[in-house]
Amino acid sequence: MKIELTIKADYLADWGMHEGVRELIQNAKDAETEMSAKMTVRHRKEALPDGSPSGVLVIENEGCSLPHEALLFGHTTKSDRTDTIGKFGEGLKLGVLALVRAGHNVRIRSGSEVWVPAIVQSEKFKAKVLAITIETGRAAKSRVQVEVDGISEDQCEELRRNFLFLLPSNEDQVTTNYGSLLLGVTYVGKLFVKGIYIQSMPKLRFGYDLTRDVNVDRDRKIVYAWDLNWRIREIWRLALAKRPDLMADFQTLLESDSADVSAMDASSAMQFSEEVRQAVAASFRALCGENAVPVENLAECLDLEHLGKKGVLVNKAQLAMLQSVFGRPEQIVESLRNETVTSYSFSELGAVEQNCLREAMEILVSSEPDLDFTLSDIDVVSFRSPTLRGQFRDGRVLVARTELGSVVSALAILIHEMAHKDGADGEKGHVARIEQLWRLVATSLLRLAAIPCNRT
């Protein structure tokens, strides 16, 4: 019996031996997963009719058989499963087509039948198509065996390296819920999906085996770069939790702006453990100095340098990870502007500074006798920011030492900062209290000068 499939011979013309074998081994692996039909892949040496050495690749599943429906496009039992590799019922047909077109004889032994594929000229479709001849009469066995002629032993070994599950147990990897980080040099830049090699990405510094559902096209290539980048980032996040010894490798990826960490952003950086983020920050400080702050542009460098810090330009991935510890530059600048560098005791002040502060206090207290405010409520400091003149913090008034050169400037700072008890800068309570204190001070000073307070 011959069955002509509705697949033109030149469909997926760029597929060859490697793609054909990939599809057949994928199908066999899925049968092992789905039906517990043990899979084996082996090489059998044979000689060609002219006596030259050749061989047969044998892919076998014990404990299953193929129904004729398997020749229908779209026939699958895997569409609702997440543990299989294939889903759409195309792999067997397309794999066989690629191999036959590449000149390989293929035989599929299933139960008591042997299926022999070939490319034929179809009278019905007026085109070359894939056809399957089904031969019967053999002893029935619960086994599916696919034989591909013309595969040398060296080719077989090369093909094996495209399937992680056909290789000896590889301990040089870290398995996570999103896939495995492949650490061996032979895997650098290689991408696998559920153990099957799909493509190379030379920009990657490591290899990866993605285990969850991944969007791939008909050629089994990754469709969405963002999806791949996100999965690789998650693999690293979970791998570092298992293997802290990989921290140095992760640091190198960040510092070199590797494609492996291209998906790093502020939100994802916060998903990494505190230990990992602090280790990245410690490495940055060790390399750039304790005074260094990570930034993304020169303007931020200048803002920080004005406050005595050193802005260091870093790449996007490194910046996201470092800012999860340091904070954003604008936050750092704001914090620095409010930072006190030095606090002074009264005895450390010069005579002029002491007198200015005393007189300002006396004017203020004499203008409002019930005011609960003394020198013990004041701290004289140097702020990191040269433009910051005073501050109200934790119920205390901080006065920049630079404002003690005159009574007027000292008094202005005391009034402004004391008024913060009634509100923040610009709030109604704050403004009203400033106006009230200045009015009381003016009234007191006019009285001392014997000038009528209602004089116009």
Please give the pLDDT value at position 176. 94
- Band of pLDDT at residue 108, cut at 50, 70 and 90: very high
pLDDT at residue 49 tops 80: no
As a whole number, mean pLDDT of residues 85-114 equals: 86
The highest-confidence range among 127-136, 221-230, 337-346, by mean pLDDT, is 127-136
Rounded-to-integer distance, Cα 11 and Cα 220, Å: 15
What residues contact 429, with CB distance under 8 A and at least 6 apart? 422, 423
Torsion angle, alpha carbons of 427, 432, 437, 441, to 10: 130
Contact yes or no for 363/407 (Cβ under 8 A): yes
Please give the pLDDT value at position 99. 97
Please give the pLDDT value at position 90. 82
Neighbouring C-beta atoms of residue 244, cutoff 10 Å: 13
Contact yes or no for 185/139 (Cβ under 8 A): no
Q: pLDDT tens-digit profile of 433-453?
A: 999 999 999 988 888 776 555
- pLDDT above 70 covers a percentage of the chain that reads 91
Please give the pLDDT value at position 212. 64
DSSP 8-state symbol, 170: -
Q: pLDDT tens-digit profile of 346-388?
A: 999 999 999 999 999 999 988 887 888 888 999 999 988 888 8
Cα 26 from chain centre = 29
Neighbouring C-beta atoms of residue 322, cutoff 10 Å: 24
Q: Mean pLDDT score of the chain, rounded to an integer? A: 89
Contact yes or no for 246/174 (Cβ under 8 A): yes
CATH classification of 340-448, choosing from 3.30.2010, 2.60.40, 3.30.70, 3.90.70?
Answer: 3.30.2010
Please give the pLDDT value at position 83. 47
User: In 3D, which of 435, 421, 437, 441 has the Cα closest to residue 359?
Assistant: 441
Rounded-to-integer distance, Cα 291 and Cα 305, Å: 10
Q: Counting beta carbons within 10 angstroms of the beta carbon of residue 423, is it exposed (0 to 12), middle (13 to 18) or buried (19 or more)?
A: middle
**Greatest pairwise CA separation for the chain in angstroms:** 130
As a whole number, mean pLDDT of residues 162-183 equals: 89
pLDDT at residue 36 tops 70: yes
Please give the pLDDT value at position 226. 82
pLDDT at residue 455 tops 50: no
Contact yes or no for 41/146 (Cβ under 8 A): no
Q: Which of 50-59, 126-135, 323-332 has the lowest mean pLDDT?
A: 50-59
In single-letter form, the type of residue at position 263 comes to A
As a whole number, mean pLDDT of residues 76-88 equals: 50
Cα 275 from chain centre = 17
Domain locations in the chain as residue ranges? 2-160, 173-261, 266-337, 340-448
pLDDT at residue 193 tops 60: yes
Q: pLDDT tens-digit profile of 385-421?
A: 888 899 999 889 999 999 999 999 999 999 999 999 9
Please give the pLDDT value at position 452. 59
Give per-residue burial for 102-141: e unless 16+ CB within 10 Å, then b. eebebbbbbbebbbebebeebeeeeeebbbbeeeeeeeee
As a whole number, mean pLDDT of residues 13-29 equals: 93
Please give the pLDDT value at position 456. 42
Strand 396-400 relative to strand 378-383, pairing: parallel
**CA dist list (Å): 127 to 1, 143, 435:** 20, 34, 96
Q: pLDDT tens-digit profile of 199-248?
A: 899 999 999 999 867 777 666 666 578 888 999 999 999 999 999 999 99
Q: pLDDT tens-digit profile of 283-302?
A: 999 999 999 999 999 999 88
- pLDDT above 90 covers a percentage of the chain that reads 69
Is residue 398 within a helix (H) or strand (E), and if so which, with residue range?
strand 396-400
Q: Is 444 helix (H, G, I), strand (E, B) or coil?
A: helix
As a whole number, mean pLDDT of residues 132-150 equals: 93
CATH classification of 2-160, choosing from 2.40.50, 3.30.530, 2.60.40, 3.30.565?
Answer: 3.30.565
Please give the pLDDT value at position 160. 93
Common-topology check for domains 2-160 and 340-448? no
Q: Which of 85-89, 304-308, 432-436 has the lowest mean pLDDT?
A: 85-89
pLDDT at residue 50 tops 80: no
Q: pLDDT tens-digit profile of 253-268?
A: 999 999 999 999 999 9
Q: pLDDT tens-digit profile of 421-435?
A: 999 988 999 999 999
More confident residue, 98 or 368: 98
